[in-house]
Structure 1
């Protein structure tokens, strides 16, 4: 499962728990520690530890204005981008030739309050900017955490006027213009009570399960003049993503039967074209294009993401590989021909042997594709020549130890996608770039040259020093990140925290102020710890063979990679080996649970939203299909592998004091799993405590609902 991120404010409760646990590694006193943690939401006191935690939390909450989404107009003349501040998000439009010429696009609600606007998308003729906005006067939707209704607005470049296009109720995402500019297409969940996926709190079980109350994501088309529209896909399909061709009426989309939240690994790639008729919203003629479950060879059972049609509509490209989540993508580049009319057309791997992971792609011409590649902690922009099966000459730009984002339609994956905005006719692209030593800014690549576009954070210094660490283990090259304690003195020794990432198919990239969850990683260095973020086998960035290496091996080879990385760090830096801790969330929580049953090397641990017993988990949640790709079948087909990979099978070996944390309505890693692990530790006499946060889901922001903290769109802190 994927580890979500949030604003620093909403992380306060469980950071408090970590902050209270880890300063006492050396003594590992059990009962006093756990009694001290009974109320994690208490106010911090006046001790030096409390004051240090308060300072770090204040720093995390005092975030500077940050760009989030970018959209380069097709004619290459204008750049639209969103700016997130404490008061909300506004859109800016700048001239590319002279960035000083700027227009602020800020619709106002009927109550006279500025709306929060985001996700800009230019029309094909560059004359109109579509975007999504939520206004304070909008009716709220949602169950546990009600949020303002997002609607589509249009800004006219010529007149400068803004008008609301849609008046819908539910969840909108993945906004895109039709190729003729006469309509807008997007995914719509009518009367949605929550965002799709397992991040939001699960709905209470009631009624006929898998039959009643399903929230289905469907492709919807709205007329760009009137706003009137209708669904293009039936309620028998849950659509995850779609792509359009710039010079044809073709549409491709990934879909599976409802409930879609459980079916993404089995999604098929469909091709459709609009029937030529006079109806306001034409119907679609749909056919199966690619079905990975029926594909033979190395691609069998792999997942698909980010389908993109070539300009002429004759081929479709997509990311293909072992991806455990519909929110974190990486793999090879696959291409299929859309012109064949038979179902189940075979897809070909266009980047066999690539030493990195493709995370986003966009056609430049009918023969060339631009790729965003994650390679060994670096982000590369690659122009891939399909005819030659290799990068074009001088077609690779290594951006260094950074990550990019912000250039594609906002969907459930949001900031997990390394997306960029393109103007292929002008050989230009725009994106948000950041790194451990690179503050978030918008950058432009024009004709191969990189240029910084915004200067919001000039002179800002990173809160901590972070370096890339690389090592070899069992024939694999492995990479991770090491953050140094603030005011580091090599003559002193320091405790070490090891944080396993979510996924498991994912990776930690280089981002400003810590990892993808905005400041949580720099919290620990600010409190005097080394923090190690490894990318062991199963991660992206070292090629698809490396990603596939943890299949049917979760917790074994990847844990050995992590421990070898700790050995490497201990050999180079002054680590206090009696004060080493292990923590993680989602799959990182699984790694923590399993890790303390395999080694007594760590002196304290925090397991957040983990899975202790894969067999019981399979029967407790809808999110079980990821195990089919990773384990090779169900627990009824192969009970032995499920038992082998479960922490509870080895619970008698667990001796490390462990705090277990989970949301009450977490459907991605059910609270029953945390309860089962806690019960096991209690039974064998290992010091432990279980914290269950009422009303919370899988997102890593526990305590928000009960404290009434302001809900924030996750992309605001990308």
Structure 2
């Protein structure tokens, strides 16, 4: 997915990516191709400022001419553009009438006024048309009641945990009559849903509470009529269930769910609407399924798979047969689930590579020219940046386990010279590094003279469920050895200076960073972002404690010793590495006290450390000024300890 448009105009004087460029880049999201494959809608979100409501614009691209233009004003939050089944209308969510308050709008696809068809208090998401084009459905979070508002205003507000939930409910709308019905059962939380082909029924993914922990583990697939009749349970699958799809004849339902205990190690399953045992449709697939759709014409499914650091799109039959439509192998990856025209001839996607930032692309299946066409160039200024050349690398870990990763060489790399190397660990742990742009850490550091190793150790996705499940009962074990043998391989290649090694990562990558500095003194600098150094205390303050049952046999309350043994705090007396700790103050996934624990421990032991927190920020840093600060701190910390 490399493209000449991002080449340096003056290779002799390129400058590193600046934190401002990275934080303000335009990133396309949510591509949706029209049923006939002629046009693509997508969104571009503006940089976030804490004092403003979010701004998001809808863009359109003409596939044949390659022309792109901004479809909405870009001064409000216009999201989730959805083509009607016949392609004549577009539905969307927007807060154009009242900033911060979403409504559903419908407008002619040829252009014209957008008409508000549904207005309801509460956040909205997951807007879809019924297959016959007569209805829309949308998930709405229950708003505060008048009594709750009054109590809040009077400061008569008390929180009783795990009570008084705000459930997500499913509403079905008639856009012509501008009428709406809430169809989901009271006291149940709608996570996801899908229309039946008859447009009379929907399958809902329900939980008993809105807790993330329940969404990860305790869901139920139920069928309800569009007028809100009786809800009939079909199946209670294990683990996080997403991308629900009906068969064309309405007899079966398919979904993505975990292949084993580990969250995100996903396959496709199907079951009869009448119940019974689910059937795995992707048994033996040596990748990880990331998205699932039904082809507009016909009865085939469309899946998007993670394969190594790349992506592939397949036709999947209900009998488990697979036919590849497109693959990025050797050149890039898909940053978003693809969108396929009704006849399956055109695939729209957001593509990126280590040398090209995300843009909208289209691929013609079955064409003689098998290359995708790039439709946008949203960040041309990034072509002037000093980017590091990247390559897929492989090495052998302990027990002859073959491991893959990405090596990003420093810009201006000269063969024979040794460079400071940073081992950058991905989150998850069931996730992966892709052949993507990775500007925030990898490319910004490569432009400043660092080599970057991005390993995909045991537990990563993209290599089948057995590889993802390999960390069960071995958290911090095989994955640590995989990273260290990768570092050794880069030293043996003559790229890495063994005396100038750094490590860092975010979320689970933060956990691995803390764990690493407690296990070895080889690293001279570390950065833990939103990490969890104490697996015991994290169970009591994070929002997904039972997710740990993907990796441990028992809960921490039944058997705390394995959790404590694999906690950095348990072994912190061995640490010597100067460590920068970064955390969002409103992080619910890995609560900020986790960062405080490592900071306090290192400071008590007399080890150089700094703890930086970002107000209002959740698990990922979102506000522009905070992003700029974070990127600069990362560069400065590694420069101070590995180069100065």
Structures share a fold, TM > 0.5? Answer: yes
Matching of residue 567 in structure 1 with residue 567 in structure 2: no
Flag structure 2 segments of 5+ consecutive residues without an equivalent: 1-13, 49-54, 146-156, 631-644
Measured in 1, the distance between the counterparts of 2:75 and 2:19 equals 28
Give the aligned partner of residue 110 of structure 1: none
| Structure 1 pair 59–697 and aligned structure 2 pair: CA distance change class (3 A) | closer
Q: After the TM superposition, which residues 570-581 of structure 1 pair with which residues of structure 2 at under 5 Å, given as runs? A: 570-581=491-502
1:201-246: CA deviation from partner (whole Å, max 9, x where unpaired)? xxxx95211113x332222222212443242223422222222233
Task: Give the aligned CA root-mean-square deviation in angstroms.
Answer: 3.2
Q: Secondary structure at the match of 1:401?
A: coil
| Structure 1 pair 659–420 and aligned structure 2 pair: CA distance change class (3 A) | same
Measured in 2, the distance between the counterparts of 1:470 and 1:494 equals 19
Give the aligned partner of residue 28 of structure 2: 67
Measured in 2, the distance between the counterparts of 1:74 and 1:55 equals 39
Give the aligned partner of residue 691 of structure 1: 612
Q: 2:341 aligns with which of 411, 415, 423?
A: 423
Q: Is the 8 A contact 2:239 2:257 kept in 1?
A: yes
Q: Secondary structure at the match of 1:481?
A: strand
| Structure 1 pair 400–151 and aligned structure 2 pair: CA distance change class (3 A) | farther
Give the aligned partner of residue 117 of structure 1: 78
Measured in 2, the distance between the counterparts of 1:537 and 1:423 equals 36
Give the aligned partner of residue 14 of structure 1: none
Give the aligned partner of residue 285 of structure 1: 230
Q: 1:338 aligns with which of 268, 273, 278?
A: 273
Q: 1:207 aligns with which of 156, 159, 164?
A: 159
Give the aligned partner of residue 7 of structure 2: none
After TM superposition, give the deviation of residue 563 of structure 1 in Å: 0.8
Give the aligned partner of residue 98 of structure 2: 138
| Structure 1 pair 555–369 and aligned structure 2 pair: CA distance change class (3 A) | same
Measured in 2, the distance between the counterparts of 1:652 and 1:458 equals 46
Give the aligned partner of residue 356 of structure 1: 287
Q: Is the 8 A contact 1:238 1:260 kept in 2?
A: no
Measured in 2, the distance between the counterparts of 1:662 and 1:615 equals 19
Q: Secondary structure at the match of 1:263?
A: helix
Q: Secondary structure at the match of 1:625?
A: helix
Measured in 1, the distance between the counterparts of 2:476 and 2:552 equals 12
Measured in 2, the distance between the counterparts of 1:630 and 1:250 equals 37
Matching of residue 542 in structure 1 with residue 463 in structure 2: yes
Q: Is the 8 A contact 2:621 2:627 kept in 1?
A: no
Q: Secondary structure at the match of 1:626?
A: helix
| Structure 1 pair 284–268 and aligned structure 2 pair: CA distance change class (3 A) | farther
Aligned length: 592
Greater relative CO (CA pairs within 8 A, separation 6+) = 1
Q: 2:393 aligns with which of 463, 469, 486?
A: 469
| Structure 1 pair 676–507 and aligned structure 2 pair: CA distance change class (3 A) | same
* TM-score of the aligned structures, taking structure 1 as reference length: 0.76
Matching of residue 319 in structure 1 with residue 256 in structure 2: yes
Measured in 2, the distance between the counterparts of 1:377 and 1:708 equals 29
Give the aligned partner of residue 522 of structure 1: 443
After TM superposition, give the deviation of residue 97 of structure 1 in Å: 4.3
1:454-489: CA deviation from partner (whole Å, max 9, x where unpaired)? 142698477321111122323433221111112222
Q: 2:361 aligns with which of 438, 443, 458?
A: 443
After TM superposition, give the deviation of residue 640 of structure 1 in Å: 2.3
Measured in 2, the distance between the counterparts of 1:509 and 1:534 equals 10
Q: Is the 8 A contact 1:320 1:334 kept in 2?
A: yes
Flag structure 1 segments of 5+ consecutive residues without an equivalent: 1-51, 108-112, 140-147, 194-204, 276-281, 293-300, 406-417, 710-718
After TM superposition, give the deviation of residue 399 of structure 1 in Å: 4.8
Q: Is the 8 A contact 1:324 1:504 kept in 2?
A: no
Q: Secondary structure at the match of 2:537?
A: helix
Give the aligned partner of residue 316 of structure 2: 384
Q: Is the 8 A contact 1:302 1:322 kept in 2?
A: no
Q: Is the 8 A contact 2:17 2:444 kept in 1?
A: no
Measured in 1, the distance between the counterparts of 2:242 and 2:402 equals 26
Q: Is the 8 A contact 1:323 1:505 kept in 2?
A: no
Q: Is the 8 A contact 1:663 1:696 kept in 2?
A: yes
Q: After the TM superposition, which residues 266-285 of structure 1 pair with which residues of structure 2 at under 5 Å, given as runs? A: 266-274=217-225, 282-285=227-230
Q: Is the 8 A contact 1:421 1:431 kept in 2?
A: yes
Measured in 2, the distance between the counterparts of 1:435 and 1:96 equals 21
Give the aligned partner of residue 183 of structure 1: 135
Q: Secondary structure at the match of 1:425?
A: coil
After TM superposition, give the deviation of residue 426 of structure 1 in Å: 4.9
Q: Secondary structure at the match of 2:98?
A: coil
Give the aligned partner of residue 433 of structure 2: 508
1:366-425: CA deviation from partner (whole Å, max 9, x where unpaired)? 7532221111112111222343x3423x656455432224xxxxxxxxxxxx41112233
Q: Is the 8 A contact 1:437 1:461 kept in 2?
A: no
| Structure 1 pair 706–84 and aligned structure 2 pair: CA distance change class (3 A) | closer
1:575-605: CA deviation from partner (whole Å, max 9, x where unpaired)? 2211111111111111111111111121121
Q: Is the 8 A contact 2:253 2:271 kept in 1?
A: yes
Q: Is the 8 A contact 2:260 2:465 kept in 1?
A: no
Give the aligned partner of residue 633 of structure 2: none
Q: After the TM superposition, which residues 622-701 of structure 1 pair with which residues of structure 2 at under 5 Å, given as runs? A: 622-701=543-622
After TM superposition, give the deviation of residue 322 of structure 1 in Å: 6.0
Matching of residue 310 in structure 1 with residue 247 in structure 2: yes
Matching of residue 253 in structure 1 with residue 204 in structure 2: yes
Q: After the TM superposition, which residues 45-124 of structure 1 pair with which residues of structure 2 at under 5 Å, given as runs? A: 56-61=18-23, 63=25, 65-83=26-44, 89-100=56-67, 104-106=70-72, 114-124=75-85
| Structure 1 pair 682–335 and aligned structure 2 pair: CA distance change class (3 A) | same
Measured in 2, the distance between the counterparts of 1:57 and 1:704 equals 9
| Structure 1 pair 241–271 and aligned structure 2 pair: CA distance change class (3 A) | same
| Structure 1 pair 708–62 and aligned structure 2 pair: CA distance change class (3 A) | closer
Measured in 1, the distance between the counterparts of 2:81 and 2:599 equals 46
After TM superposition, give the deviation of residue 124 of structure 1 in Å: 1.3
* TM-score of the aligned structures, taking structure 2 as reference length: 0.84
Q: Secondary structure at the match of 1:225?
A: coil
Measured in 2, the distance between the counterparts of 1:619 and 1:435 equals 39
Measured in 2, the distance between the counterparts of 1:370 and 1:600 equals 47
Matching of residue 128 in structure 1 with residue 89 in structure 2: yes
Q: Secondary structure at the match of 1:132?
A: strand
Measured in 1, the distance between the counterparts of 2:177 and 2:373 equals 39
Give the aligned partner of residue 174 of structure 2: 223
Give the aligned partner of residue 497 of structure 1: 422
Q: Secondary structure at the match of 2:18?
A: helix
1:95-134: CA deviation from partner (whole Å, max 9, x where unpaired)? 444444x775325xxxxx8434332111112110112233
Measured in 2, the distance between the counterparts of 1:495 and 1:438 equals 24
1:231-287: CA deviation from partner (whole Å, max 9, x where unpaired)? 222342222222223345332232212132231222324131316xxxxxx114323
